[in-house]
Amino acid sequence: MSEKDKKSLVIVESPTKAKTIKGYLGKDYVVKSSMGHLIDLPKSRMAVDINGSFEPEYITIRGRGKILKELKQEAKKSKKVYLAADSDREGEAISYHIKNAIEKENPNIEVKRIVFNEITEKAIKEAVKNPREIDENLVNAQKARRVLDRVVGYTLSPLLWEKIKKGLSAGRVQSVALKVICEREEEIENFVPEEYWTIDAVLLKDKDEFTAKLIQFKDKKIDIKTGEEAEKIIEAIKDKNFVVHEVTESQRKRRPAAPFTTSKLQQAAGSKLGFPSRKTMLVAQQLYEGIPIKGKAVGLITYMRTDSVRISDQALGEVRSFIEDQFGDEYLPDKPRVFTNRGSAQDAHEAIRPTSVFRTPESLKPYLTRDQYRLYRLIWEQFVASQMKEALIKQIKVDIKAGDALFRVSGQVILFNGFLRLTGISEKEENKRLPEMKKGEKLELKELKKEQHHTEPPPRYTDATLVKFLEESGIGRPSTYAPIITTLINRYYIERKNKQFRPTFLGRLTNNLLKQHFKELLDIDFTSQMEEKLDKIAEGKLEWVKLLKDFYPPFMKVVEKAKKELESYKGIMDEETDYICEKCGSRMVKKLGKYGYFLACSAFPECRNTMPLPYGKCPRKGCDGYIVERRTKRKRPFYGCTRYPDCDFMIWEKPAPKACPKCGTVMLEKTIDGKKFYVCLNEECGYREPVGGEKKEEILVSK
């Protein structure tokens, strides 16, 4: 092939991204996907020179050799190679390893790095015009993190295998997140509710009714502990005149929030859409890499891993034009609004925004899945609102005296809705109009109400609140939040119930063990400082080897001490059950394995029988089998009897997480008259109970 006929090779991580970029670059370019990392540390051993240089021993990842070979062969036929992995530390490392592999066999070929913040035609062509060399500092920062996490993980995990059970893992950042969740659970368990009472006055002004809250009595802030105290106050003021003591009016401006960073997007998607962090990042990745629109893949949002709130001048000009066209001059600020990054924020990327503000959510709705549409709308609205005028709200505060008591009522009126015209008005921002009142004016008392309350424990963490905590504490980085949560769930350290995280017994046991002997490693400040050092490596201000040399010797001293002092908890997770082994007649033991709980014969190793954890008894009359999960040839899950083929009972619906407390048969979750119930499959039993209800009383279903 002549030099003239050769094409340029562009290497990205994913096939979707490759397809989108190919559509922009045309026939003179070949775009291939590496499918992520091709070269990394082996899984089977430490593979780090811990006694000297801390250099990692990289290998081609198992199963990826064919992809790497194809990329090298394609590079041979190309006049240039452009490495277009994501423009972060991981992307830089992927590019670095591919460059080395290609140049080893093709030393004369030109290999360059290109980066872009959005997958649009303009951004891609601009990146190709302005290639750069590999950023060694970013590569070293990724190497330092990888080696640091490998050293911690591959040192602590075997310790957990030895002392608790095989298959456990401990990570530098995941262990801190686990600690936080466990500590919150302890706070909840140790919380003692305290009783307190409030008193409200229902008042009338010219037939307009409103409610004022008691805030002071005898010049002291209200702190009513008992109903008797509340009653005494009511008796003291019920016959007094209720007189307007003071009326205060003020105006406040409600400014829009900045466009999303990664963590803020995860928080908003968690609280508003109910998305777990992993789902948010998965859907955002799809929007970034490209969605087919009218036969052409289009990248709809900018890069979704960022902790910067910066917006490009071009995007600002576009959104200001859109606001003026759609909402009018009165909604457009005199100049663009500029938001300030947090001190530790990396400014390599813009905030998350639509690649074109003129692609409104409604115009894209036919091309997006429900989840894609909802997340895109969230991103689009946040971005547009961030450059609209602030809302102007008039606040009214009225203090009312009745003898020694001071009551207060507040109201507000939205004078100008500003950005709220786009985002909508929340319950907190709704107009709360009060009748016009003047100082010294008497009001009519309709009713005095006392109400009992109890203080509440702190709430359990959700995806949104845990990500917020990690971000504010400087633990991890935007790209790590979702994987941290996923790892903790997959390892059975925590479980998600009603969108809240609870530590499992295994999680608490692991956390207690680590807390006893690795206090500094789990210290939030220590972990945050380590992140700052990794950032310094990325900026070229710290040698990556120095970080490892400072960390490793004291860490290993603690490890050696822990090995000697830690007591064994082997077998503590095993739980004897009433299930009988069908092969030898011994009792079965409930165990936690790599893929969840299962039953194993207690006569192991003589008998190696195992079976999935049953959901309950088979409902077929005369059958003594149990319902377990099975798979069709196409891997679709169904639920059938352990005595198959003698008993052919099966259902497609997943059984409830508990057996019937009356007869032990499996129950299913069903909706009856709009309410969810667990219903026993045994028709003769007829038991059901409300899902999530506190009361577990038996409800008989008419046969």
Q: Which residue has the tokens 């995280």?
A: 501
pLDDT classification of 696: cutoffs 50, 70, 90: very low
pLDDT tens string 464-501: 999 999 999 988 888 889 999 999 998 889 999 889 99
pLDDT tens string 552-601: 999 999 999 998 888 888 777 788 888 888 889 899 998 887 667 889 99
Question: 594 and 587 in contact (C-beta within 8 Å)?
Answer: no
How big is the chain, counted in residues? 703
pLDDT tens string 317-327: 999 999 999 99
Q: Does domain 262-386 have CATH number 3.30.160.270?
A: no
Helix extents (H) in 26-133: 65-76, 89-105, 121-129
How many CA atoms within 13 Å lie on the side-chain side of 541?
6
Structure tokens at 125: 């062509």
Share of the chain above pLDDT 70, in %: 96
CA-based R_g, the chain, Å: 31
Which CATH fold would you assign to the domain 3-134?
Rossmann fold (3.40.50)
How far apart CA 385 and CA 391 sit, in angstroms, is: 11
Tell me 255's DSSP state: P
How far apart CA 639 and CA 653 sit, in angstroms, is: 8
pLDDT tens string 23-35: 999 899 999 999 9
Q: What is the pLDDT of residue 449?
A: 96
Q: What is the pLDDT of residue 594?
A: 67
How far apart CA 91 and CA 69 sit, in angstroms, is: 20
pLDDT tens string 50-79: 988 999 999 999 999 999 999 999 999 999
Structure tokens at 342: 């947090």
According to DSSP, the residues that pair with 297 across neighbouring strands are: 292
**Catalytic one of 24, 29, 303, 639:** 303
What class is the 195-255+391-454 domain? mainly beta
One-character DSSP codes across 378-443? HHHHHHHHHTSPPEEEEEEEEEEEETTEEEEEEEEEEEE-TTHHHH---GGGS-B------TT-EE
How far apart CA 417 and CA 419 sit, in angstroms, is: 6
Q: Which CATH number fits domain 143-190+459-565: 1.20.1250.20, 3.10.180.10, 1.10.3720.10, 1.10.460.10?
A: 1.10.460.10
How many angstroms separate the Cα of 124 from the Cα of each of 26, 119, 241, 316?
A: 12, 6, 74, 20
How do 242-254 and 291-293 pair as beta strands? unpaired
Q: What is the pLDDT of residue 618?
A: 84
Question: 647 and 663 in contact (C-beta within 8 Å)?
Answer: no
If you average pLDDT over residues 518-535, what whole number do you get? 91
Name the residue ranges covered by the structural domains of the chain: 3-134, 143-190+459-565, 195-255+391-454, 262-386
How do 637-641 and 626-631 pair as beta strands? antiparallel
According to DSSP, the residues that pair with 131 across neighbouring strands are: none
Q: Is 58 a catalytic residue?
A: no
- What's phi and psi for 567, nearest 5 deg? -85, 160
One-character DSSP codes across 432-491? B------TT-EEEEEEEEEEEEE--PPPPP-HHHHHHHHHHHT-S-GGGHHHHHHHHHHT
Q: What is the pLDDT of residue 428?
A: 67
**Statement: residue 87 has pLDDT above 70:** yes
How far apart CA 563 and CA 568 sit, in angstroms, is: 10
Q: What is the pLDDT of residue 80?
A: 95
Tell me 224's DSSP state: B
How many angstroms separate the Cα of 499 from the Cα of each of 199, 274, 278, 459, 503?
A: 34, 8, 13, 12, 13
Residues 6 or more apart whose Cβ sits within 8 Å of residue 456: 193
pLDDT tens string 430-462: 789 999 999 999 999 999 999 999 999 999 999
How do 242-254 and 391-402 pair as beta strands? antiparallel
How far apart CA 580 and CA 599 sit, in angstroms, is: 10
How far apart CA 107 and CA 92 sit, in angstroms, is: 20
Structure tokens at 441: 């004016």
Strand, coil or helix: 109: coil
Share of the chain above pLDDT 90, in %: 70
Is cis: bond before 645, omega within 30 of 0?
yes
Q: How many CB atoms lie within 10 A of CB 504?
A: 18
pTM of the complete model = 0.83
Structure tokens at 535: 């950032």
